[in-house]
Structures are given as C-alpha cells and as structure tokens.
Amino acid sequence: MAATINWQLEGDQLTFNGELTRATVAQVWQQRQQWLAQAQERLNVDLAAVEHVDSAGVAMLLQLKKHLLQQQSDLVIHHASEQFDAIVAVGGGTSLLKHV
C-alpha cells in the first residue's frame, strides 16, 4: 500500500495524518503556502496522527521553520513521537525544532 499524508489547517493549528516520509513530503510541501499564510506569531504542528516519520519529514519541518522565521513567526511541534525525537537528535536539530 502506498504511503499517504493528509493535513488539516484550523487557524494556526496544522495537523498531519498518515506518513511524513520521503514518499509523501514532496506532495505536501507543494501546499506549504497555505500554511505559511496562516502563521501570524506561530504555527502549531500536531503530529499525533502521524504513523511514521523519516529524515525527509524532519527535513521538511526544518525548512518550514526556516520559512516561518523569515516571516518572524515560529514553529511549535505537538505530540512528537519517540521516533521523531530520535531522528531530530541524530541530526542535531533538537534546539531548532522545539515541541511540547
């Protein structure tokens, strides 16, 4: 079965559902302007419904953070899995991707 990712945006809350992986990042990244337009002070990204994440998913979130910082906004990750935390730690991005 092919990997899928869906997202929903409500105010400054962006919720992903599915797999945030190399197979899905390109399709979802093309829609980032919709998320960036909603971020005033920050964009809250909820990963509770993400079943699998890989380094491509983490890289996408780092790029999103970079874009938001250019807009003087911030990115806050919610409900990150242990897998997500491990990938971020190995890549040295722990201080860049703050989460609650």
Cβ partners under 8 Å of residue 14, min gap 6: 7, 8, 35, 38, 43, 44, 45, 46
| Domain-embedded: residue 54 | yes
pLDDT at position 99, please? 65
Total tally of structural domains belonging to the chain:
1
58: containing domain: 28-64+75-89
For the segment 15-36, what is each residue's pLDDT rounded down to a tens digit?
A: 999 999 999 999 999 998 888 8
| Domain-embedded: residue 40 | yes
Q: Whole-angstrom Cα distance, residue 52 to residue 31?
A: 20
7 bridge partner residues: 16
Q: What does pTM read for this prediction?
A: 0.89
Pairing of strands 42-53, 13-20: parallel
